Amino acid sequence: MNPFEQAEKMLQDIQEATLNSIEEAEQFRIKYIGSKGLLKDLFAAMKDIPNERKKDFGQLVNQIKQSAEAKINEAKQANTGSKKSKSSGEDLTAPGIPYEVGTRHPLSIVKNEMIEIFKRLGFVVEDGPEIEDDWHNFTALNLPENHPARDMQDTFYIDYNANKLLRTHTSSAQIRVMEKQKPPIRIITPGRVYRNETISARAHCTFHQVEGLYIDKDVSFADLKQTLYYFAKEMFGSDNIRMRPSYFPFTEPSAEIDVSCFICDAKGCAVCKHSGWVEIGGCGMVDPAVLTNAGIDTEEYSGFAFGMGIERVTMLKYGINDIRLFFENDKRFLEQFS
């Protein structure tokens, strides 16, 4: 190969080279333009080139040098500046991952709705403890020791001798409110209650109630009825309810509150036990013995009370046929209430 051919070949090699790292670029620099590099040999060959071709040869050697330098710069830039963005591996144009937002539990939705409905009638929310004593859960509510009606509610005792139990109903909160507040009283107390019951589609050992209490002068059963009609109309869009005579030790007279079964349009289903009616709670005129126990003058005041199961109301409202669904926290169930 004459020096021209050598130079042409070198230019081609340089143009075709790929340099993948700083190290490769450095090797390349040493090979071609380093102090003992190939370019030096070409310059040395200049003296053997005939004079009339020296100019062409000189231009070719310059071109080789410039090509080599450009290659090296290009490789350096590609392997320093962009290194970080290469390793992050993110595609900034990809669609975002949606942010998962939780939903309110159906029992909370219905509880809040019940609170809103009764608020419109002037009821205020009160609270009571879930760990109760015998007096507030039973005795003051006209259920003295050995009263047979205590069997209606299978109680979880935390410590029988220390007089600590889990409240079996929110009626216990009635007593606490009457003990510290003078009439007129118009309260509701939503909350959790506990009973030693076998878990099934219709019953659970823990569930929720809303207790209502209205004490004032001249309160009558008609007031109670109107209150419940208003509630049903607001909650279910229909006041198709009935009051069935019943017995509770803390009210006289007493009634059970039934709502027309919206799940089957009262045609009969498992939830209404094929009767067309679903019981959602109890109510009645507060027994004077209860008022006396709580220190309220029965000559001056009377009142009504009611207690409703939030699970029952929710099941009716949304057509849910198994109470256990509320406590399993299955997202597929809960997401339906978003």
Interacting residues with ligand DAH (CB under 6 A): 169, 171, 211, 248, 250-251, 281-284, 305-307
The distance of closest approach from Cβ of residue 189 to ligand DAH in the complex, given in angstroms and rounded to an integer, is: 10
| C-alpha count within 13 angstroms, C-beta hemisphere, residue 244 | 13
Nearer to ligand DAH, 3 or 303 (CB): 303
Q: What is the 3-state secondary structure (H, E, C) of the chain?
A: CCHHHHHHHHHHHHHHCCCCCHHHHHHHHHHHHCCCCHHHHHHHHHHHCCHHHHHHHHHHHHHHHHHHHHHHHHHHHHHHCCHHHHHHCCCCCCCCCCCCCCCCCHHHHHHHHHHHHHHHCCCEECCCCCEECHHHHCHHHCCCCCCHHHHHCCCCEEECCCCEEECCCCHHHHHHHHHHCCCCEEEEEEEEEECCCCCCCCCCCEEEEEEEEEEECCCCHHHHHHHHHHHHHHHHCCCCEEEEEEEECCEEEEEEEEEECCCCCCCCCCCCCCCCEEEEEEEEEECHHHHHHCCCCCCCCEEEEEEEEHHHHHHHHHCCCCCCHHHHCCHHHHHHHC
Whichever of 3 and 284 has its CB closer to ligand DAH, that residue is 284
State in angstroms the smallest separation of the CB of 330 from ligand DAH. 28
Q: Which C-beta is closer to ligand DAH: that of 191 or that of 284?
A: 284
Q: How far is the CB of 262 from ligand DAH (least distance, A)?
A: 22
67 versus 251: smaller Cβ distance to ligand DAH: 251
| Smallest gap from residue 267 Cβ to ligand DAH (A) | 27
CA–CA separation, 117 and 231 (whole Å): 6
Minimum Å gap between C-beta 334 and ligand DAH is 26
Task: Give the C-alpha separation, 43 to 36, whole Å.
Answer: 12
Give whichever of 106 and 281 is closer to ligand DAH, judged by the CB atom. 281
Q: Of 64 and 283, which has the nearer Cβ to ligand DAH? A: 283
Q: Is 313 within 8 Å of 280 (Cβ atoms)?
A: yes
- Closer CB to ligand DAH, residue 72 or residue 185? 185
Residues 283, 304 contacting (CB under 8 angstroms): yes
CB-nearer residue toward ligand DAH: 56 or 154:
154
CB of 308 to ligand DAH, least distance (A): 8
CB of 213 to ligand DAH, least distance (A): 7
**Smallest gap, in angstroms, from Cβ of residue 255 to ligand DAH?**
8
